[in-house]
Structures are given as C-alpha cells and as structure tokens.
Structure 1
Amino acid sequence: MTTDQVILRVVQLVERNRCSLQDEKRTQVDLAKVFADDGLNASREHRLSTNDIPDFFVDGVVIEVKIKGQRTAIYRQIERYCTHPEVKGIVLVTSKSILLPPSINGLPARVASLSKAWL
C-alpha cells in the first residue's frame, strides 16, 4: 500500500469503529483490535528514538492517539515524529477538536476523529 492508502485506511477504520473516548490506553487497546481484525499490520509503540515512541506504526505511517493534552504540545510531538527519516506520514487519532495542516515537514498529515463513530 502507498502512504496515502495507509493513511486513508487508518482514518476510515478509526472513524467507523467505536473506541473508548475516556482513557487513552483503552483507546489504544480498542484500536489494536480494530487494526488486527482488518488485517492491518500495526506495530505498537514503535521506537523512532529514545524519546519518540508513537502509539502505532504502519508501513512508515505514525498513528498517534491523543485524548487529552494541549493542542500546541500535541502538534510539537507529531511534528517531531515527522523529522525521522523512516516516517512517511502521520495520522492523529483524537476526540479533540483539532486541525492539522495537510502536511508537516513535507509529509502528509491527517486527523481521524474518534467521535465520528459515536454520532
């Protein structure tokens, strides 16, 4: 799959499946099951560096789950992930109202809304 296809697939899976909106660790467990059930090979807590460990990693795409936190801190974290050479794109999975630019450091970036499946 291309990077764009992985990103689209992750966004669709997140937005179609009800996952916990209260606890980030529970959300990660829910998403791991959703990804596995769909056959998506998502590695958990893939180490990019000592300090940079995104929640999931699929074919070069970082998937970061955020339930709480300040928008600026969240952005700084995912922007930092996008500096690693093995990263080809990023999906922010969140229930927060947050916008991302279409690309960060030249890499495609998307938000997947956890709330959408609950509507």
Structure 2
Amino acid sequence: MTGPADITSALRRARLPVGNESALQEALGRALERAGVAFEREVRISAADRIDFLAAGGIGIEAKARYPRRAIYRQLERYAQQDAITSLILVTGTAIGLPAQINGKPIYHVSIGRASL
C-alpha cells in the first residue's frame, strides 16, 4: 500500500504547473497514475465539500495553484473533520506553513512554487 509520505515524495518529484488550477489537477492525476496510486477525482466527502483526489486508505489530496492561505487552512480543517479522510496532502503554489496535524489527521505539503524556481 502506498502511504501519504510515499505519495508526497512522488508528487515532489513531478513537474507540476503553478499558475492554473485546472492544469495542476490534470498534471497531478498523471503523476499519481505514474506512481501507481489508486485514486478517485472530485470525491464528495460531505454535503458541502468535494476533495480534488481521494487515494486508497482515505488519503485526501487537494490542489491549490494560488489561493489565500487562510482559505486553504479553513478548507483543510473542514476536510480533516470528515471520517472518509485519514490524512491530507496539500499541493500548492501558495507559500504556507502548516501544522503536522489538523483535527488529528496528518498533513503533508507539496510546494510547487519551490519546484519551479
């Protein structure tokens, strides 16, 4: 089974676009497929929330090309409240600091801004 640290490592090695969220999601899908990660796209995890990718084992992956930090954190906080989510991976071009966990769920971060320098 591929865990969140393995997926995070694979995504950090991928070339991902910074500016366009739609292009970022497409590139993420291809990177996950190349890494052999089983996933679903645009999965509804609550009445109000739909996560970009949900990998086996409840690993949620959210893509944010450029987005306000506070809004990103609030969204991750909502996702971490859901039973379907066991851990979260944020892939973003926004410079953001995150705690190791939110609501007891491990948080991983892939900075695409850093990779494009």
SS at match of 2:63: strand
1:80 maps to 78
Structure 1 counterpart of 2:107, from 101, 106, 109: 109
| Higher share in strand | 2
| Structure 1 spans left out of the alignment, 5+ residues | none
Which amino acid letter does the alignment assign opposite residue 13 of structure 1?
A: A
Report the Cα distance in structure 2 between the residues aligned to 1:47 and 1:91, rounded to whole angstroms.
Answer: 17
Is 1:42 paired with 2:39? yes
2:60 maps to 62
Whether the 8 Å contact between 2:68 and 2:94 is mirrored in structure 1 is no
SS at match of 2:10: helix
Which amino acid letter does the alignment assign opposite residue 24 of structure 1?
A: E
Per the normalisation by structure 1, the TM-score is: 0.90
Displacement of 1:116? 4.0
Higher relative contact order (CA 8 A, sep 6+): 1
Report the Cα distance in structure 1 between the residues aligned to 2:34 and 2:50, rounded to whole angstroms.
Answer: 23
Report the Cα distance in structure 1 between the residues aligned to 2:52 and 2:73, rounded to whole angstroms.
Answer: 15
SS at match of 1:97: coil
2:4 maps to 7
Report the Cα distance in structure 2 between the residues aligned to 1:12 and 1:98, rounded to whole angstroms.
Answer: 18
Displacement of 1:47? 0.9
| Structure 2 spans left out of the alignment, 5+ residues | none
